[in-house]
Amino acid sequence: MENKNLQIILHSRPTAGISELNFALQKSQIPFPQAGEVLLKTLYLSLDPYMRGRMYDTPSYAASVKLGAVMIGETISEVIQSNNANFSVGQLVSSAHGWQQYAISDGSNLVKLPEYAVSPSAYLGVLGLTGLTGYGALIRYGQPKAGETLVVSAANGSVGSIVAQTGRNLGCNVIGITGGQEKCKILETELSIKTLDYKDDNFSENLKKLTPQGIDIFFDNVGGDIAFEALNNMATHGRFLVCGTISFDRNLPQVKSIDRFPSAFSQVLIKRLKVQGFIFDELVDMKDDYHQQAVTWLHDGKLTFREHIVEGIENAPQAFMSLFKGKNVGKLIIKI
Amino acid sequence: MENKNLQIILHSRPTAGISELNFALQKSQIPFPQAGEVLLKTLYLSLDPYMRGRMYDTPSYAASVKLGAVMIGETISEVIQSNNANFSVGQLVSSAHGWQQYAISDGSNLVKLPEYAVSPSAYLGVLGLTGLTGYGALIRYGQPKAGETLVVSAANGSVGSIVAQTGRNLGCNVIGITGGQEKCKILETELSIKTLDYKDDNFSENLKKLTPQGIDIFFDNVGGDIAFEALNNMATHGRFLVCGTISFDRNLPQVKSIDRFPSAFSQVLIKRLKVQGFIFDELVDMKDDYHQQAVTWLHDGKLTFREHIVEGIENAPQAFMSLFKGKNVGKLIIKI
């Protein structure tokens, strides 16, 4: 075995959409911990749609990854050497050390994993960023009430499945949108919610039929056509939550077609909608509340989660590309 | 003089956009008040963009005007016969008796004009529906803070000018958008705010230059291109208030061009915007507060208003059409 640190770097910026060729595998020396530092071995790496935006250098809510730098990402790691009294060897921590096998930390950016009876990888999904995003945003911006109709897109994704289950647990009439009959069946069986297949030719009619009183809350993870259909089926005073736009790469040239922008904002007016964009950062104050609730629900079987685990850091680029093709069910994780 | 009630009815539904030909003038008998009723003579009729939507029979937040029925609209009237002890002859009232010279009421839908030192027509504008809409929505949904940048479209319109002055009085950095240098000059002189001419070829660059920190609150009365430019210049956590879409008739076939919908919602996400649609109904609880504030400001010269008065009910259709051509400055009122 080579004693190297395998890393995936951003090799080039995307031109006609992101590609595996934008990444490169690089071997570097395993770093050496100085006084006060620890050496971390990555166990799990989270892959999430937001990373696409960081590959471009257009302005966004967060800085781009620099060319030649290790791709960013949330990680679960084990402390394998420690010069820091706060961390002993064997301690599991969550942090954001990106697409690499080893990393150095002075401890300031590490969170020790609590002793819940879940796998460490769960701290990248259901108990991590995506879980809190789904739960926190639904509660804060959606203000769901029992009996309301909640529709969530990418409902089998890492955020969507938490939204769907939270809504269900709070007594909402939940409808999950996903692609293909197989994924619909998984959702219906595992989450006990109604589903809609966006690949069905009658998607639009089916959405209307399933929401005769209109959609009170639409939790959007995909943008584009599905978002537009939902917007046209909102109930008066509906809340439209913009969590992600995975179907839309704003850095690509935009397709010529009907301009749906004026009509979209006309719907906002007619239905007196609230459309709210948000990112994870705005929900961190809800983290403790969420963990308490999530652990209780996990224990009671009222919250389940799926992980789509791919082994090997070298497979991260390909796995990442699959995210945008709607291929995975559940949280996409690289096991290093 | 003929003893007739001149009325403007909805004669046909629009096909390729609204037209004067959709209206017809009709003479009917002046109605006779029964026990408990009063006969009203209309003094002023308000013309507002929302009326366009009522000419179609597509679903909206309010019922369509029936074919052959008198066009709806807010009115100021004088009681000229009274069989109702609550109303004496000569009493001025506001109500919504539409595009006609005379109307009957049992008093239940009448509001007596208070004794403020303003012209009765002001109760159709600054102290009426449009004033409250501008003030109430800005306060409730915009939550303006001193020092914030507030941009308002159709800033010389009946809603826009109230928004601009409210923002200015609260210490915001206010920028009013209007069409043409002449209208800009009027705004700058009368309201002491900065202006932007949307007809200027460099509108987009000018908007960017005038809002270097981004727009904290955009109060939109027009929709379409101006709204889209504003959306792309919002500050993080900006509030985008959808009050009107006068530039957009959703009942017309939509122009093929770039589809700006996905990009618009991507901006909502990136900037974590709140986009809020609303109508007047949701603000009526703020009416007393607003009147108190408005009367004080009017007295102190901190609130001014313009009326664009057209004489004669028979001229209402033509005047109404001019609303959509950006021709008037201030509240459009028909003096009957």
pLDDT in tens, A278-326: 998 999 999 999 999 999 999 999 999 999 999 999 999 999 999 998 8
List domains and CATH numbers for chain B: 4-125+306-335 (3.90.180.10), 129-281 (3.40.50.720)
Residue A211's SS3 state is coil
How many residues in chain B? 336
Tokens of B314: 């028979």
Q: Which residues of A touch B61 (CB under 8 A)?
A: 236, 270-272
CB atoms B263 and A243 under 8 Å: no
Nearest CB among B243, B273, B279 relative to A277 is that of B273
Indicate if the alpha-carbon torsion angle A232, A235, A238, A242 is positive or negative: negative
pLDDT tens track for A157-196: 999 999 999 999 999 999 999 999 999 999 999 999 999 9
Q: Which residue has the tokens 């009421």?
A: B105
Q: Which amino acid is at B155?
A: A
pLDDT bin (cut points 50, 70, 90) of residue A328 is confident
Calculate the average pLDDT of chain B. Answer: 94
Using alpha carbons only, how large is chain B's radius of gyration in Å? 21
Tokens of B329: 């400055």
Q: Is A31 on the interface with B (CB under 8 A)?
A: no
How many CA atoms does the CB half-sphere of A259 hold within 13 Å? 18
Indicate the Cα dihedral angle B57, B60, B65, B67, nearest 10°. Answer: 0
pLDDT tens track for A30-87: 999 999 999 999 999 999 999 999 999 987 778 899 999 999 999 999 999 999 999 9
**Which helix H or strand E contains B177, and what residues bound it?**
strand B173-178
What pairing do the DSSP bridges indicate for beta strands B173-178 and B194-197?
Answer: parallel
Task: With a cut of 80, say whether residue B168 has pLDDT above it.
Answer: yes
The complex scores an ipTM of: 0.86
What pairing do the DSSP bridges indicate for beta strands A215-220 and A234-242?
Answer: parallel
- 3-state secondary structure string across A165-186: HHHHHCCCEEEEEECCHHHHHH
- C-beta of residue B178 within 8 angstroms of C-beta of residue B189: no
Q: Which residues of A touch B276 (CB under 8 A)?
A: 268, 272-275
Residue A144's SS3 state is coil
- C-beta of residue A228 within 8 angstroms of C-beta of residue A204: no
CA distance A71 to chain B (A): 20
Angle at B244 between CA B302 and CA B139, to 5 degrees: 40
Choose among A191, A324, A214, A331: nearest CA to A272. Answer: A214
Q: Which residues of A touch B268 (CB under 8 A)?
A: 242, 275-277
Tokens of A97: 């050390």
Task: With a cut of 80, say whether residue A2 has pLDDT above it.
Answer: no
Percent of chain A with pLDDT over 70: 99
Choose among B243, B219, B202: nearest CA to B148. Answer: B219
pLDDT bin (cut points 50, 70, 90) of residue B1 is very low
CA distance A150 to A195: 11
